[in-house]
Amino acid sequence: MIATDNLLVQRAASADLRAFDVLVRRYQLPVFRLCLGMLGDEDDAQDAAQDTFFMAWRAIGRFRGDAKFSTWLYRIATNRCLKELKRRPQRTEQLPDLPSTQSPPDEHFEAIERLAAVATAVSRLNDEQRIPLLLREVEDLTYTEIAEILGVTMTAVKSRIYRARVELARQLVDQ
């Protein structure tokens, strides 16, 4: 039987390292993917994702279950990445998570170009638009969950995502 997040969180809060290990395995990809989308750099994303789980472990005793564990985790990851972005002198516009381009067949090459075009367009969005867009498009979260993670109203989330989508569409049309 697969243990629910809530059960694992309860056990982890009682210092059960195995339970926390399962949670890390369960959420490593979405957390790393979110950090990579926000920061654009693989090393920074790895540090941020590791810190997210470390901070989650330290705070897990205070997780009350009002929100889903995943939402809580995304909030920690988002705040960690925002701190990193604020620390940077200038935003880097690089999303290196693309497949290798060594001698690809034409079809493969076209696919890589398509993905690169989207990656570039997403990286050019400002943080206020890019972060909710990633949470919506990539992590498939609801508007309510995104509002909870970012600590803003649902109207603000809808507006930011709308503006991000229009800007993304504009860039894709121009390419």
Question: CA 37 to CA 174: how far, in whole Å?
Answer: 22
Give the single-character DSSP code of 14: T
Distance of closest approach, residue 151 Cβ to other proteins, in angstroms:
18
Query: Is there a contact between 23 and 45 (Cβ–Cβ < 8 Å)?
Result: no
Q: Kindly state whether residue 36 participates in binding other proteins, applying the rule CB under 8 A.
A: yes
108 scored as a contact of other proteins (CB under 8 A):
no
Q: Which of residues 109-168 bind other proteins (CB under 8 A)?
A: 111, 114-115, 117-119, 122, 137-138, 162, 165-166, 168
The answer to whether the beta carbons of residues 175 and 117 sit under 8 Å apart is: yes
Interface with other proteins by CB under 8 A: which range of 28-36, 75-83, 124-132, 147-155?
28-36
Per-residue tokens: 96? 């290196």
Least spacing, CB of residue 39 vs other proteins, in Å: 13
Residue 59 lies near other proteins (rule: CB under 8 A) = yes
143 and 136 in contact (C-beta within 8 Å)? yes
Q: Taking every pair of C-alpha atoms in the chain, what is the biggest distance, in angstroms?
A: 55
Length of the chain: 175
Of residues 8, 9, 44, 53, which one binds other proteins by CB under 8 A?
Answer: 53
Listed in sequence order, the residues at least 6 apart from 170 whose beta carbon sits closer than 8 Å to its beta carbon are none
Choosing from 54, 94, 109, 155, the residue that interacts with other proteins (CB under 8 A) is: 54
Count of CB atoms situated within 10 Å of the CB of 135 = 26
Binding site for other proteins (CB under 8 A): 13-15, 17, 20-21, 24-25, 28-29, 32-33, 36, 42, 46-47, 49-50, 53-54, 57-59, 61-62, 97-99, 111, 114-115, 117-119, 122, 137-138, 162, 165-166, 168-170, 172-173
